[in-house]
Chains A and B, each alone.
Chain A
């Protein structure tokens, strides 16, 4: 086993887990809505990107369009549908599942079973007899940047602090002058935009078809469960843990075992740590501070 191979594969896996999960985690962690249409939101981002690129937009611009399209869609869906379902967790799951169904088939009707794909930019990093796609490796810093950006947004800006206050106690927040409806809308739009960003980033390296969303769903859910309630810390930690496990097991035993090991990890983590990895970190921190 080559150490650089392992490192690059870890970077690749970490980025995938984090990017697949982050939009779901924001919407679930901040608003308590399980968006079963999350994969389809990612698909919309990828379509926005690919279609714009095919229309002649340079890739970065096309990606920005993909993010924007998904965010706008999130805004419309939140205002028309999701906001009626905030205190109805399970109904919101059925509704978002139905939305996923409509989005998948709608894209199929509009654009057919496949659209021309864009190719992966930036070439490769070659080392010895091996090489790795530069673009895939660069997704790691991008994922870290996204996490960092969210950290700043939710802890260093007035908006983020108000949003967190809204999540913790909406009535009190409202009574202190926070327009909580707008906070929910904004949070949902941010979650959608993140899903769109994931779609945009993976559009040049995955196959863009109407059903592509399902390939993100498993990783996304597993990461959210393993991460626990704290969105950022949880997503980062589960990205790290699951990315490592996937890379190691895939290398040692093959892709299938990589996937199974990830899923089993999720089950074990939930059983041992009911609040996920975040819970573990909190416990350790409290113990350290207590002493």
Chain B
């Protein structure tokens, strides 16, 4: 167990280093000059050069790489040229917003996709199943960015039900920052209205992420449930005179969890990707938007940091899932591949 954990951790580290190396070199291939951006549009060439030197952008690539990696080992993610702050400081600022969005979306996704899958799997081939299948299929084809815009159009622009973007009503004062999660902070501040307001702001971005995840996730969960239904132990359960509901909830569900878990892990990867688009569209002040804006001006460090942070998140999720498998399925000795 310990050995397994250790192995996975080492592997996670390898992945992280790889992503750092890859993104570092990729970002330096770009034919753009962030120093020029920093210096401003009317700055003289000397000023630009001075800034290049200040930020070490004039040094040879291997040297820049070495110092970046050394910094990384110390937890230093470099400095953002655009925000003129250390990336770690920025991340501390932006990460909670993203995490809040991700967690809410994920919980929502899990709940809804699971219920839909169960609903569909109760009568495979039935009308409910057909409808769900169609919806999920269409859902997988909806481009996330387009969906976000369309939801904005209807729910903000046409119906005035939900806000356009951002995390909190503009004119109101947000609760004091404790955790960075507005939902939590507003409760800590004892303000139900603030909680509801943050929830309202979360609705569209989360819905946008969820629809796509949901589609893929429900399909996979449904397939897993239906596949389990044809297993022989289900026949045995029927032979014992169990009701279909009991068979579904007590027998099938538990067995279908492993494939669903695998699907879920995969989904998490997509979610990290979609979050960039969603944050851009909804002006959600998280790391996706942060990295995207930095990326627009070829401010490298935040982009690399995003890659590293999201990869780390992904590695952790994978690890958690690996640890969950044996809990769910006693046949799996924790010997992941």
A, B co-complexed: no
